């Protein structure tokens, strides 16, 4: 029994369903009743219920690819800001991909303060201490490009269904983007004007994430910017 | 300051023309501040209150961090120009107490266990006061917390009830508060009718108390509806055309 429609906006404490549904985030159960715990969009798929939040900070989850900024260093690694209540910990060997002898090598040659790193979250413990790994393909220190920060709740919208939105953003503008689950997006491109247009488009996605037909509007916007530049 | 009126209720109508069980005009707007994670602006009669929420975010000073839960911090503050006589700025006995009771009103609804070691900060600024600022502050803070995406069991709605000229009235305004017999602010979770704040200045007989609670529940239900609308209104606006 459902009390809210699919894609309806629900608020904390609102009764959204009753019965034996499975909850995948954004909701909680009291007895047989299911209530939303955040302001978000109701999402029903068969017996599965989930409320997709419209806001809130990024909470690190194992397996996420994130973009961090080096905040601090210690004897064998760095502390990265993850645009979240929690910081990430990256060890040298998890960046270099090999054993690093700390007595022989200076770790400052790898990263310095303010550097941007793409990394995967290898582990998050119950105290929310985050262990990062930057050895995977496409991971590691990021050079050049523009960084955009949006709410992490809007990241799925930037990627789109099966990557459709990310595809549109890249193919229409000729730019390259990398999306971190923590709401940070890097944009590279030869044409500075199109890079700025992508940034604009990303901010537009953040503003209008809860509306439909967004991919088409983004495409139109980028096409317009492209034709104006010629 | 107004002189004490002879009667606060004339022919069943209060000084501002309301009936005893009527709320003051209520206006709530969510997401008014761009830099805060969540915010709300509330007008309850002549009260004007702004609430801002930051977090959950990394908590400083670090010794306040709890390894298994987020902590809630609350600051209720009155602007110097919010009252007739300039209020000395800064925290005082009254605002420290109100900050504490407001924090305790929210502690049971926020899912703090989801954000260990972090902090959630709630700031309530009273811009204009006309009795019942703590209840207006709670109503604003509830909307601001929801707007910030903080997971909660329910919203919190608050209203004051009191006794004026031996009549139980809802949502006291300034003169009723100053010259009336009793003032009792109540905050509750509208869904489960759980009271999370109850203070009282004055006296009630047990019978009056029961009637007052009943009246407050009705008031909170009305406020809850407005809070709900305010939250939904923020996201139902159509995107502007390019």
Interface predicted TM-score (ipTM) of this complex, two decimals: 0.90
Which of B109, B117, B146 lies at the smallest CB-CB distance from A127? B117
Identify residues of B whose CB sits under 8 angstroms from chain A CBs.
Answer: 37-38, 55-59, 67-68, 109, 111, 114-118, 146-155, 189-191, 228, 231-232, 235-236, 238-239, 242
Query: Best interface-test mutation with B: which of A3, A40, A52, A57 has the largest number of B CBs within 10 A?
Result: A57
B52: closest CA among B154, B156, B158, B140?
A: B140
Nearest chain A residue (CA) to B31? A55
Which of B67, B149, B153 lies at the smallest CB-CB distance from A56? B149
The percent of residues in chain B predicted with pLDDT above 90, rounded, is 91
Tens digits of per-residue pLDDT, B225-236?
999 999 999 887
What's the pTM value of the predicted model, to 2 decimals? 0.93
The answer to whether A217 contacts chain B (CB < 8 Å) is yes
Query: Is A207–B239 a contact, with Cβ atoms under 8 angstroms apart?
Result: yes
Query: Is B189–A13 a contact, with Cβ atoms under 8 angstroms apart?
Result: yes
pLDDT of residue B228: 96
DSSP string, B147-180: HTT--BSS--EEEEEEEETTEEEES--HHHHHHS
The answer to whether A59 contacts chain B (CB < 8 Å) is yes
| Cβ-based burial of A132 (10 A; exposed 0-12, middle 13-18, buried ≥19) | buried
pLDDT of residue B140 exceeding 90? yes
pLDDT of residue B5: 81
pLDDT of residue A128 exceeding 80? yes
Tens digits of per-residue pLDDT, B110-133?
999 999 999 999 999 999 999 999
Query: Is A127–B67 a contact, with Cβ atoms under 8 angstroms apart?
Result: yes
A63: closest CA among A139, A166, A163?
A: A139
Q: Where are the alpha helices (DSSP H) in chain A?
A: 92-96, 155-159, 164-173, 192-207, 214-229
pLDDT of residue B242: 32
The verdict on whether omega for the bond into residue B61 sits within 30 degrees of 0, i.e. cis, is: yes
Query: Best interface-test mutation with B: which of A3, A12, A51 has the largest number of B CBs within 10 A?
Result: A12
Percentage helix, strand, coil for chain A under 3-state DSSP, each rounded to 5: 25, 35, 40
Query: Best interface-test mutation with A: which of B146, B230, B238 has the largest number of A CBs within 10 A?
Result: B146
Which of B114, B154, B242 lies at the smallest CB-CB distance from A12? B154
Over residues A138-147, mean pLDDT: 94
The verdict on whether omega for the bond into residue A82 sits within 30 degrees of 0, i.e. cis, is: no
pLDDT of residue B239 exceeding 80? no
Residue A92 near residue A111, CB atoms below 8 Å? no
Nearest chain A residue (CA) to B65? A127
Give the three-class secondary structure for B84: coil
The percent of residues in chain B predicted with pLDDT above 70, rounded, is 97
Looking at every residue in chain B, the average pLDDT score rounds to 94
Query: Is A57–B149 a contact, with Cβ atoms under 8 angstroms apart?
Result: yes
Q: A30: pLDDT confidence band, cut at 50, 70 and 90?
A: very high
Tens digits of per-residue pLDDT, B12-50?
999 999 999 999 999 999 999 999 999 999 999 999 999
Across the A:B interface, residue pairs with CB atoms under 8 Å apart total 96
Query: Is B111–A37 a contact, with Cβ atoms under 8 angstroms apart?
Result: yes
């Amino acid at each position: 029994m459902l009390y809210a429609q699919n894609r309806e906006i629900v608020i904390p404490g609102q009764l959204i369903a009753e019965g034996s549904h499975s909850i995948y985030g954004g909701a909680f159960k009291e007895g047989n009743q299911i209530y939303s715990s955040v302001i978000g969009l109701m999402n029903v798929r068969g017996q599965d219920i989930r409320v997709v939040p419209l806001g809130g900070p990024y909470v690190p989850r194992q397996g996420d690819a994130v973009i961090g900024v080096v905040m601090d260093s210690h004897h064998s690694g760095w502390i990265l800001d993850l645009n979240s209540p929690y910081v990430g910990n990256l060890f040298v060997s998890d960046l270099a991909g090999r054993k690093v002898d700390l007595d022989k090598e200076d770790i400052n040659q790898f990263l310095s303060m303010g550097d941007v790193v793409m990394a995967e979250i290898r582990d998050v413990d119950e105290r929310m201490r985050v262990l990062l790994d930057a050895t995977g393909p496409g991971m590691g220190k990021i050079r050049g490009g523009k960084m955009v920060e949006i709410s992490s709740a809007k990241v799925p919208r930037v990627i789109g269904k099966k990557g459709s939105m990310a595809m549109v953003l890249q193919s229409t503008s000729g730019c390259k983007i990398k999306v971190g689950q923590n709401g940070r997006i890097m944009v590279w491109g030869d044409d500075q004007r199109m890079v700025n247009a992508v940034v604009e488009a990303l901010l537009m996605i953040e503003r209008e994430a809860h509306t439909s037909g967004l991919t088409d509007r983004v495409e139109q916007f980028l096409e317009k910017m492209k034709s104006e530049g010629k | 300051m107004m002189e004490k009126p002879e009667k606060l209720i004339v022919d069943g109508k209060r000084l501002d023309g309301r009936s005893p069980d009527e709320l003051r005009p209520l206006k709530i707007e969510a997401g008014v501040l761009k830099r805060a994670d969540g915010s709300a602006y509330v007008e309850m009669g002549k009260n004007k209150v702004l609430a801002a929420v930051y977090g959950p975010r990394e908590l400083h000073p670090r010794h306040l961090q709890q390894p298994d839960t987020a902590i809630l911090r609350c600051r209720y503050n009155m602007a110097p120009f919010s009252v007739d006589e300039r209020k000395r700025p800064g925290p005082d006995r009254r605002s420290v107490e109100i900050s504490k009771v407001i924090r305790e009103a929210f502690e049971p609804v926020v899912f703090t266990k989801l954000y260990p070691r972090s902090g959630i900060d709630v700031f309530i600024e009273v811009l204009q006061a006309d009795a019942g600022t703590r209840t207006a502050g709670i109503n604003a803070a509830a909307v601001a917390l929801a707007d910030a995406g903080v997971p909660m069991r329910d919203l919190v709605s608050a209203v004051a009830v009191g006794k004026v000229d031996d009549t139980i009235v809802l949502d006291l305004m300034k003169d009723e508060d100053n010259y009336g017999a009793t003032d009792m602010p109540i905050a509750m979770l509208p869904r489960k009718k759980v009271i999370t704040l109850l203070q009282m200045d004055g006296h009630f007989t047990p019978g009056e108390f029961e009637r007052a609670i009943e009246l407050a529940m009705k008031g909170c239900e009305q406020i809850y509806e407005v809070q709900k609308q305010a939250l939904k209104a923020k996201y139902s606006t159509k995107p502007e055309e390019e």
